[in-house]
Structure 1
């Protein structure tokens, strides 16, 4: 269900109300792009059922699903269409279109082509843990996360959030774990890592499927290269790639998570219960491994 994590802390003061969230999301439902529409975004039922609830609660964990649909026009196709229009004007009037008219021709060409453009859909799971005051987005794109957070903050009165900020930066912690060969309690270091130099050359060393408990890695760190990505496993249950920005990528639940589960135990509720159950323990352990949470500002809705 989750493949990437960007984690926010929900500030005190927001009173969670599932019905209020449902009503707020209903004001921005996802609708497919119209014929000449480049992009559409909004909320869709997490269960995938038509006309279903937009905010689902499973064992107290709230799940939302955000959808974006966009149309892509290859630049070469658009340029060719604009040239055709410009050539026609030049042939009919004997003059070349000016800069302003060329811009108008580009807008006109785009409207002509959009009905024939391919569409791409991208959805994102949004998890709200009201008890732990966490907002977790299943994305590796900070820009896309900002888009969703802004929409939520503007839609839900009193909601304010901030990215989780730890006492020790992930980069400093990863460097220590690699140099001293001492992963934090409950975690193991796996076989993937990226090290980057802070110098102007920005030199980079990447290890993939390679043991990291070697002098070469420690020498790179001594030489000033710092880890930007590190593969880890938590409690022999969840593997992931930790980044310098405290993003969790390449999330995978290991076989031990599913021991004792029947083959027919699948379905939305089971998937949510497993994912939130495991991640609800992993996230605080990861924060603790990074020295605990530091104070930080919160993002609030802009004043009207």
Structure 2
């Protein structure tokens, strides 16, 4: 299932068309890294079937699958290779390489090592809810979600996205809920949170598997520490951790949803169940935070799309680092 939710609002100007979406995604399919390529990303069939559609419609919900591959090249290995090359030059010429030559040696060493490097693969689910005009990305970081959403903006003329914003900031709302130990209707506070100080010391307090209706938590908030993460459950059906940036982490369907369901219900059943629950959760969470704070969507950041838009294209170092550090490759969507 979705482990993380980062939600965007789709501007009214875009007219959803499944055939046009399929054609757009087909222009940037995933291909494995070439011998000297550090990273590759693109679209794969959501059902995992070779040559299957890249956009699937299930009960009116559209599902896409973004896939990436990154070469793992440890800095220590690269540094050792550069040192070997520098020592060889010193032995042959009697001089040490200068700064410019050292940079060239690093590039040369990287090209030498990339064909030998191991690779990590990972994917992210993308869910388009046409009726609610939302696009949801299962990404652990905002940069990863922006890369994927920007690839879609680049590929689909007329598509404009903006992160869903709310009248009440998640941080202010979480502080109030913790201080009063009373979540909004339909939600319940669970046993995990993180509080950070805005002062110079940047003090952090974390609670895990710990009751939060205690004076100590209120004292931290009164002293100026603000919540950045808070575990919640919704309607005894979904558990998650809400962040200050309105991201949902550790999303899990609870027994009330799963009881009676076939453990291997198949792609269509899994998608229908999960999107049905999560669409209601997102709508009620936005309402609990005072409703949306802006109505006009703006184009998603296009920096990532510029590189992600071509199969096998080079991508920013930050995206490569994120792939190597945090790749989760799931076989099933939910």
TM over 0.5: yes
> What corresponds to 1:119 in structure 2?
119
Q: Does structure 1 retain, via aligned residues, the 8 Å contact 2:11–2:296? A: no
1:198 positional shift: 1.5
Give the distance between the partners of 2:172 and 2:138, measured in 1 at CA.
Answer: 25
> What corresponds to 1:98 in structure 2?
98
> Alignment partner of 1:262: what SS?
coil
> What corresponds to 1:289 in structure 2?
288
> What corresponds to 1:270 in structure 2?
269
Give the distance between the partners of 1:120 and 1:296, measured in 2 at CA.
Answer: 39
Superposed, which structure 2 residues align to 1:36-115 within 5 Å? 36-115=36-115
Displaced runs of 4+ in structure 1, greater than 4 A? none
- RCO (CA 8 Å, sep 6+): is it higher in 1 or 2? 2
> Alignment partner of 1:43: what SS?
strand
Give the distance between the partners of 2:90 and 2:136, measured in 1 at CA.
Answer: 55
Superposed, which structure 2 residues align to 1:18-29 within 5 Å? 18-29=18-29
Query: What are the Cα deviations for residues 131-173 of structure 1, in whole angstroms up to 9, with x where unaligned?
Result: 1000000012111111111111010000001001000000111
Give the distance between the partners of 1:209 and 1:147, measured in 2 at CA.
Answer: 34
**Structure 2: gaps of 5 or more residues:** 307-334
Give the distance between the partners of 2:105 and 2:175, measured in 1 at CA.
Answer: 54
* Match status 1:195 vs 2:205: no
* Match status 1:13 vs 2:30: no
Give the distance between the partners of 1:20 and 1:202, measured in 2 at CA.
Answer: 48
Give the distance between the partners of 1:223 and 1:199, measured in 2 at CA.
Answer: 10
> Alignment partner of 2:95: what SS?
coil
> What corresponds to 2:309 in structure 1?
none
> What corresponds to 2:258 in structure 1?
258
1:90 positional shift: 2.1
> Alignment partner of 2:182: what SS?
coil
Give the aligned length: 302
Give the distance between the partners of 2:81 and 2:148, measured in 1 at CA.
Answer: 34
Give the distance between the partners of 1:96 and 1:193, measured in 2 at CA.
Answer: 53
Q: Cα RMSD (Å) of the superposition?
A: 1.4
Give the distance between the partners of 1:277 and 1:286, measured in 2 at CA.
Answer: 15
* Match status 1:298 vs 2:297: yes
Q: Does structure 2 retain, via aligned residues, the 8 Å contact 1:67–1:122? A: yes
1:215 positional shift: 1.5
